[in-house]
Amino acid sequence: MTQKNMPPENIQAMLAVRNVTQAGIAREKNVSDNAVHLAIYGKLKSADLHDHIANNLHLTKEIIWPELYAEQPIDRRKTRALSKGFIK
């Protein structure tokens, strides 16, 4: 059973409790406010931005966005095809 991403409203509330704004994160990471908003909502997969947000919350991106960062099971068929040179 896969876990669901943390609700964006919870992420925003946790940031607010720590006096961290989306605009502040955008300035620190040199991205747009919209990029931060999309990252919080899981619509933009940016490991660097997700790490920065998670660090501000003293969590990991895997805890906040498990749907994006949970380890995927290995597809043995693809692994075999790679080793035999069928997929580059």
pLDDT, one tens digit per residue, over 50-86 is: 999 999 999 999 999 999 988 755 555 555 544 555 4
CATH number for 26: 1.10.260
Could you tell me if residue 68 is inside a domain? yes
Q: What is the pLDDT of residue 14?
A: 97
Per the structure, the count of domains in the chain is: 1
> Which residues lie below 8 Å from residue 68, measured CB to CB, with a gap of 6+?
5, 42, 45, 50, 61
pLDDT at 70: 81
Amino acid present at 53: I
Domain-located, residue 2: no
Structural domain range at position 77: 8-83
Q: Average pLDDT for residues 6-25, to the nearest whole number?
A: 97
Q: Is residue 1 part of a domain?
A: no
Count CB neighbours of 3 within 10 A: 11
